[in-house]
Amino acid sequence: MAYKLLEKNHYLWLLNISKYHDYDEIHQALKIIREKKKIVDDKEKWVNQTTLSRNRYWILSTLMDKYNYNDLLNSLNQIFSR
């Protein structure tokens, strides 16, 4: 199961976001976060580059701080493959 890659609460955060956004929107946000974190000095400069709400974007950003991109993407794939 996907929550073996993430802590259960963090998996539930991702599951909750997936109820309101499709795979492509979440994947795009994860790609933006991954790329911008390499060069950014202020999250406010790139927080609005996605269709996700500010709160959901910050949750994904927090998950990206804790987990690697591939683990999040694998969990997301498993959520949407149900």
Q: Encode pLDDT of 17-66 as tens digits.
A: 999 999 999 998 898 888 876 655 555 555 556 667 778 888 998 999 99
Coil, strand or helix at 7: coil
CA angle 28/78/14 to nearest 5° reads 55
Prediction pTM value: 0.78
Per-residue CA distances from 35 to 4, 10, 19 (Å) = 25, 21, 25
* Angstrom distance (rounded) from CA 5 to CA 39: 27
Q: What is the structure's pLDDT at 1?
A: 47
Q: Residue 48 gets which letter from DSSP?
A: T
